[in-house]
Amino acid sequence: MKILRILLLISLPILTQAQVDLAPTPPKLSAPAYILQDFYSGKVLMKKNADQRLEPASLTKLMTAYLVFKKLQAGKIKLTDTVLISEKAWRMQGSKMYIEVGKRVPLELLIKGMIVQSGNDASVALAEFVAGTEDAFVALMNQEAQRLGLTNSHFTNCTGLPNEQPTITTPHDLVRLARALIRDFPEYYHWYSVLEFTYNNIKQQNRNGLLWRDPTVDGMKTGYTRAAGYCLIASAKRGKMRLISVVVGAETKKKRHSDSEEMLNYGFQFFETHLLYKGHQVLDTERVWQGNEEELQLGLENPLYLTLPKGQYKNLKAKLYIDKHIMAPVVAGETYGTLKIRFADKEDVILERPLVALSSIEEGNLWNRLKDSILLFFVKQL
């Protein structure tokens, strides 16, 4: 038996196909695989072959950056550290930062070289600095991929260059990785919006052309190999809404940019995202029986965002279903009810989220337990 509470605040982080159909049909793109996702809610707004395993080219460097940022954030390395450039790093082909063998280069410059110039030499130098060898670093990449839930990804180098056993991933995994990088390392994300970088008297421009023509775009990464085609992960923020697009396998640079632009414009024009509940926000207060306290506050473990077609917010309603007769002891984080979301004119539940205890309540003393046992007996008769 659960007690019903109706919330005045409503939320919907994921939509059924029926609700998605309230928005105009997504544009048809030329790329063979792509995905568009809201950063805050995680809602996928359009996709094609999003779970097809493909080569990502230099998009691989997002995972390389993720591991470097993780070490920085943990204090295990510093931006002022200097990195000795190996012959292997110096000999890397493809896009380069043009570092020189035997020289020491500040870590921060190598990060900029990897992100802005897509330097394969900088990527290998960073991998060797973090893990000793590129092979050891690749093992860390695959461990991190599993932790992040990139279940269809396998990394074989830190650059995305062609290999006998190439790196394989999917648009879905790539957007999940991009979202994790922005979420987990906001202090380092700004490097993805740098337009150009000069090292060794060689100035190179960021290959993400959207940075130059759309001021709302602030990242993230391009890639190209013959096998992968032209690839681009782009992130843009307009107002309080951030979207991430992934294009893999486009035929030309121009098409990877135009496909990304079409996706972002579609998402921003026809959808909206709102923060409905903060994590640990009190949504309900309930009586606790036989505890050393009588009131228990309930809420959601994490912030709850909604993404839905524009104009549909007013049609939503939320209800709380609370467990009846909550008994001490209560453990913080345990579930004592459910938040259910519906459209106002529909009975089907669109979403359920557990309501958790926001604090622990210990069992009361003998008097409290005895008193509440007697009171509860009469309450149950009502």
* Candidate list 41, 58, 153, 258, residue with the active-site label: 58
Cα 233 to its chain centre, rounded Å, is 13
Least confident of 12-16, 35-39, 315-319: 12-16
The fold of the 31-250 domain, in CATH, is Beta-lactamase (3.40.710)
Q: Note the CATH number of domain 2-15+276-381.
A: 2.60.410.10
The whole model's pTM is what? Answer: 0.89
- Residue 341 neighbours by CB distance under 10 Å: 22
Render pLDDT for 182-240 as a digit per residue (tens, 0 to 9). 999 999 999 999 999 999 999 999 999 999 999 999 999 999 999 999 999 999 999 99
Q: Is the pLDDT of residue 11 over 80?
A: no
Tokens representing 255?
A: 């098409």
Please determine, for residue 22, whether its predicted confidence score (pLDDT) is greater than 70. no
Q: Is pLDDT above 60 for 12?
A: no
**118 is an active site residue:** yes
- The pair of three-digit structure tokens given for residue 187, joined into one six-digit string: 């202090």
The model's pLDDT over 327-361, given as tens digits with 9 standing for 90+, comes to 989 999 999 999 988 877 778 877 789 999 999 99
Q: What is the pLDDT of residue 17?
A: 38
Find the catalytic residue in 43, 47, 61, 112: 61
- Is the peptide bond prior to 27 cis by the omega test (within 30 degrees of 0)? no
Residues 6+ apart with CB under 8 A from 10: 276, 313, 316, 317, 318, 341
Model pLDDT for residues 311-326, shown as the tens digit of each residue: 888 888 899 999 989 9
Give the start-to-end residue ranges of the domains of the chain.
Answer: 2-15+276-381, 31-250
What burial class does residue 232 get, using C-beta atoms within 10 Å of its C-beta: 0-12 exposed, 13-18 middle, 19+ buried? buried
Q: What pLDDT does residue 7 have?
A: 54
Q: Catalytic: which of 41, 118, 123, 260?
A: 118
d(CA 162, CA 349): 47
